[in-house]
Structure 1
């Protein structure tokens, strides 16, 4: 049932030319070089360290690996991570 609802929302998003991240409650991840990462529409932090950060999202867990990473800002809908970001992946 949820798959069908998401399919309808996706089609509606296409018809109305609305961003899918808003219609489908998807995370939006923006990487600026390898120095800064913006994550919008997250569901909280699972793990936090200078080498690994894991963030919960509606589509799974986002794992960020790097060096000297810190969370610069965190609010209800957005996280900003800075440091030497080496990889970003959904698990």
Structure 2
């Protein structure tokens, strides 16, 4: 991103007070206990099984491990999953697997 683009983003953050997830394409994760999860701003499903779900993000991936995982809805860039969620791991681009 150019210096002007970064300056403009900084200005809009301060003046408009917009949430970070909208401005920098970060995921928004809502967890209800360990039974239900909603992820917004993902870029697609990379891997899915009843024990693991991997989502592509703008800057990396999100891994959800658990038992009996079921994708209950996918609406655009929003995904809901239910089951017993045991672990959530965020991996940035370039991080060793």
- Residue 35 of structure 1 contacts residue 84 of structure 1 at CA under 8 Å; is this kept in 2? yes
- Residue 44 of structure 2 contacts residue 77 of structure 2 at CA under 8 Å; is this kept in 1? no
For the residues of structure 1 that align with 2:19 and 2:61, how far apart are their CA atoms?
A: 21
TM-score normalised by L of structure 2: 0.82
- C-alpha deviation, 1:11, in angstroms: 5.0
Q: Does 1:20 align with 2:15?
A: no
In the alignment, what sits opposite 2:75?
75
Change (3 A) 1:89 1:10: farther
- C-alpha deviation, 1:7, in angstroms: 6.7
TM-score normalised by L of structure 1: 0.87
In the alignment, what sits opposite 2:52?
52
Larger radius of gyration: 2
Change (3 A) 1:46 1:2: farther
- C-alpha deviation, 1:83, in angstroms: 0.1
In the alignment, what sits opposite 1:88?
88
- Residue 63 of structure 1 contacts residue 89 of structure 1 at CA under 8 Å; is this kept in 2? yes
- C-alpha deviation, 1:90, in angstroms: 0.7
Gaps of 5+ in 1: none
The count of residues paired between Structure 1 and Structure 2 equals 91
Gaps of 5+ in 2: 92-97
